Amino acid sequence: MKPLRLLGIDVGGTGIKMGAVLAGDPPRILETDLLLQEVDRPVGRTVAVASERLRALVAAVGWDGVDGVGIGSAGLIERDPGRIAFSPNLPAWTGASLPDLFRREFRVPIRMDNDVNAFALAEWRWGAGARAAHVVFLTLGTGIGGAVIAAGRLIRGARGFAGEPGHATLIQDGIPCPCGNRGCAERYVGAQGIVDAARRHPGFESDPLSEIDPLTPEDLSRAAAEGSTMAREVLAERGVALGGLLVTLVNIFNPERVVIGGGIAQAGAFLLDPARDHLARCSLVARHAPPEVLPAALGEHAGLLGAAAVILDDGGNFLRA
Amino acid sequence: MKPLRLLGIDVGGTGIKMGAVLAGDPPRILETDLLLQEVDRPVGRTVAVASERLRALVAAVGWDGVDGVGIGSAGLIERDPGRIAFSPNLPAWTGASLPDLFRREFRVPIRMDNDVNAFALAEWRWGAGARAAHVVFLTLGTGIGGAVIAAGRLIRGARGFAGEPGHATLIQDGIPCPCGNRGCAERYVGAQGIVDAARRHPGFESDPLSEIDPLTPEDLSRAAAEGSTMAREVLAERGVALGGLLVTLVNIFNPERVVIGGGIAQAGAFLLDPARDHLARCSLVARHAPPEVLPAALGEHAGLLGAAAVILDDGGNFLRA
């Protein structure tokens, strides 16, 4: 069977990544393009420009057509019928039904899902979650995203809003979160939480890291790799907090694997080993059925491959790759 | 179609409830029996005695056979092939494959699941979760049990151990839990957590409740219903803690409904209203897709109906009712 010819559209706050993807195993990204977001541009106009660019992509790779279009987007996404219910970073996109808009341009099956579900679908199909029926996915970045495959199907919830473990309560009455809750896991293991932990470390003021502004978790990862005791201690402490979230998720889902992506996951063993230790020690379910805790495998391409994966079969009824 | 004739076997720490259930809608419990547990009795002997009693039940209701047997049991249950992987209260039962043992006596389809999954299946089929595809179930008692129906299927996890939200971290580094974690939700909203909160209340020593020993959450519920301000304040405070757990679960699952059963749920609005308020205020997902939070509907029969429901179709491939 010939691999499907897919267009992937990864809608982010700063830009729209687009790609022509041949959905084999492994998949091949044949060509990509990037359209920067302009806050004032109406959604319909952006879709028109993106469609032109997509047609140019199709021409560039020599396809005489496409089999499907998948869209991954930040925000709360109502998957049926495919609408952005809430777009925190691009308010104008709230309410936009992107599949309908793109369907005027491409008369093929089109589906949209949120970017973290898209990431999970790609890692599940082609990456660190492959060949497992029960997988918890986390993306660690400014926020913490999450998605869960249970018995081979993505958990979507009643309106498609499932999968916000970054807003699982880690410390009831803890640090206020813009979401309205207090003590969300994201406040401790998101980028700001990690940087704040570094600033509170007694050795911070006398460390070269204190001269970096703005300091990022990636700076800490780099310093840890280069031997900084302080950076390692901070990542270990936050790894335990990540472990607390993993305890919750593993006790709820009993997954075979936990796949962790996003920028901070680059810290690798400095962050993940303490999380693994905490999980093994503190999770009832992990003690009886220990899951693997793995870094994501698709790297920078996960977003685009994820967008493409949105149109593929997810145990539901879309295209079969 | 004639309703299926089922035997339900609800294996608890102190007794084994058995019943003949006609699986119509609503279901009818035609006859029940109770076999007390004896710690020293070998499992095989208990199964033999239970089987005799079950045959007597079948004769008493005038059936000439049964269509299936469902078993709900406390502990970590590996559903395939149906084995008690860990039985905290009845150590001798750890490792027992009850469906195999009962199959020697009844040559019909037999399945076993854990008692909370069984409760959830009954409430989902016949009770407060009926006609909803996305439901979170909690049982509040000595511990907190949980189960989740997502897209019409019970989440079981890799080995059947999914659904332990009582051991979701509510306060990282909080009260130690026998499970190995600290700050599990169960430590705050389980029976002991609620009673401890009452003892810490400044008005406790001068309240008639202080003379009850052992004090139970049911005593607090009763006092609250009779007008005790102290009892109401304690239940309200613990309701907020319950709300913290609901925030985590609703943000992860985006359910249409949350169904709460178990002894403490009898406290009704005194406990559930503060939990609902906290959920509505603190959950990102609930704000965009508010779930109903309902008390369980099947009352004392939930365990037995649940056991019977284990053998019915759960989106998998068992008997169709």
Q: What is the pLDDT of residue A300?
A: 84
Q: Length of chain B, please?
A: 321
Quote the strand ranges of chain B, DSSP E: 5-11, 15-22, 28-36, 68-73, 76-78, 83-86, 110-114, 135-140, 144-150, 153-154, 257-261, 292-295
Is residue B298 within 8 Å of B123, Cβ to Cβ? yes
Tokens (6 digits) for B165: 């939200």
Residues of B with Cβ-Cβ distance to A181 under 8 angstroms: 247, 282-284
Alpha carbon of A158: minimum distance to chain B alpha carbons (Å): 6
Q: CB–CB of A284 and B164 under 8 A?
A: yes
Tell me what percent of the residues of chain A surpass a pLDDT of 70.
Answer: 97
What is the phi/psi pair of residue A97, to 5°? -100, 85
Tokens (6 digits) for A139: 């993306």
Angle between helices B302-309 and B115-126 (to 10 degrees): 90
Angle between helices B269-282 and B217-225 (to 10 degrees): 100
SS3 B288: helix
Tokens (6 digits) for B166: 């009582």
Chain A residue with minimal CA distance to B155? A150
The 10 Å CB-count burial string (b at 16+, else e) for A284-293 is bbbbebebeb
Q: CB–CB of B158 and A248 under 8 A?
A: no
Task: Dump pLDDT digits (tens) for B233-289.
Answer: 999 999 999 999 999 999 999 999 999 998 787 778 999 999 999 999 999 999 999
Tokens (6 digits) for B6: 């089922």
Chain A residue with minimal CA distance to B181? A282
Tokens 């609930």 belong to residue: B286
Tokens (6 digits) for A194: 């990690």
Task: Dump pLDDT digits (tens) for A132-179.
Answer: 999 999 999 888 999 999 999 999 999 999 999 999 999 999 999 999
Alpha carbon of A79: minimum distance to chain B alpha carbons (Å): 13
Is residue A283 within 8 Å of B207, Cβ to Cβ? no
SS3 content of chain B, % helix, strand, coil (to 5): 40, 25, 35
Is residue B170 within 8 Å of B244, Cβ to Cβ? yes
Q: CB–CB of B171 and A167 under 8 A?
A: no
pLDDT band (50, 70, 90) for residue A318: low
State the average pLDDT over residues A227-254.
96
CA A319 to chain centre: 22
Tokens (6 digits) for B51: 């089987």
Indicate the average pLDDT of chain A. 92
Task: Dump pLDDT digits (tens) for A190-202.
Answer: 999 999 999 999 9
The tally of CA atoms less than 13 A away on the side-chain side of residue A284 is: 26
Helix (H) or strand (E) holding B250: helix B229-253
- pLDDT of B91 higher than 90: no
pLDDT band (50, 70, 90) for residue A319: low
Q: What is the pLDDT of residue B318?
A: 55
Is residue A19 within 8 Å of A29, Cβ to Cβ? yes
Q: What is the pLDDT of residue B14?
A: 86
The 10 Å CB-count burial string (b at 16+, else e) for A117-153 is bbbbbbbbbbbbbeebbbbbbbbbbbbbbbbbbbbeb
The full DSSP string for B17-64 is EEEEEE-SSS-EEEEEEEEE--TTS-HHHHHHHHHHHHHHHHHHHT-S
Q: For A86, which of B156, B164, B288 is closest by C-beta distance? A: B288
Is residue A196 within 8 Å of A169, Cβ to Cβ? no
Distance CA B320, CA B318 (A): 6
Tokens (6 digits) for B315: 């989106």
Q: What is the pLDDT of residue B25?
A: 85
Alpha carbon of B128: minimum distance to chain A alpha carbons (Å): 16
Q: CB–CB of B150 and A146 under 8 A?
A: no
Tokens (6 digits) for B47: 């199964």
Q: What is the pLDDT of residue B196?
A: 95
Q: What is the pLDDT of residue A314?
A: 58
In sequence order, what are the beta bridge partners of B252? none
The tally of CA atoms less than 13 A away on the side-chain side of residue A163 is: 32
Residues near B175 by beta carbon (within 8 Å), at least 6 away in sequence: B182, B183, B184, B187, B188, B193
Q: CB–CB of B162 and A285 under 8 A?
A: yes
Residues of B with Cβ-Cβ distance to A169 under 8 angstroms: 169-170, 244-245, 247-248
For residues A24 and A314, the model is more confident at: A24
Residues of A with Cβ-Cβ distance to B243 under 8 angstroms: none
Tokens (6 digits) for B98: 């009850």
Task: Dump pLDDT digits (tens) for A202-218.
Answer: 999 999 999 999 999 99
What is the phi/psi pair of residue B104, to 5°? -65, -25
Tokens (6 digits) for A50: 């993106």
Longest dimension (CA), chain B: 62
Q: ∠ CA B102-B108-B113 to the nearest 5 degrees?
A: 60
Gyration radius of chain A's alpha carbons? 20
Residues near B106 by beta carbon (within 8 Å), at least 6 away in sequence: B7, B51, B54, B66, B69
Residues of A with Cβ-Cβ distance to B251 under 8 angstroms: 164-165, 167-168
Alpha carbon of A56: minimum distance to chain B alpha carbons (Å): 38
- pLDDT of B137 higher than 80: yes
**Beta carbons within 10 angstroms of residue B280's beta carbon:** 18
Residue B199 identity: R
**Predicted model pTM:** 0.93
Task: Dump pLDDT digits (tens) for A16-60.
Answer: 999 999 998 899 999 999 999 988 889 999 999 999 999 999 999
Tokens 């939990």 belong to residue: B275
SS3 content of chain A, % helix, strand, coil (to 5): 40, 25, 35
Is residue B137 within 8 Å of A252, Cβ to Cβ? no
Quote the strand ranges of A23-126, DSSP E: 28-36, 68-73, 76-78, 83-86, 110-114
Distance CA B315, CA B284 (A): 29
Is residue A124 within 8 Å of A149, Cβ to Cβ? yes
Chain A residue with minimal CA distance to B169? A248
Q: CB–CB of B156 and A151 under 8 A?
A: yes
Which of B134, B154, B251 should we substitute to test contact with A (largest number of A Cβ atoms within 10 Å)?
Answer: B251
pLDDT band (50, 70, 90) for residue A317: very low
Is residue A73 within 8 Å of A98, Cβ to Cβ? yes
What is the phi/psi pair of residue B11, to 5°? -90, 110
Distance CA B72, CA B202 (A): 42
Tokens (6 digits) for A120: 């999970």
CA A240 to chain centre: 21
DSSP A291: P
Is residue B270 within 8 Å of B240, Cβ to Cβ? no
Q: ∠ CA B112-B117-B120 to the nearest 5 degrees?
A: 130
Q: What is the pLDDT of residue B320?
A: 55
Alpha carbon of A279: minimum distance to chain B alpha carbons (Å): 9
Gyration radius of chain B's alpha carbons? 20
Is residue B170 within 8 Å of B185, Cβ to Cβ? yes
Q: What is the dihedral of CA B7, B8, B12, B15, to 10 degrees?
A: -40
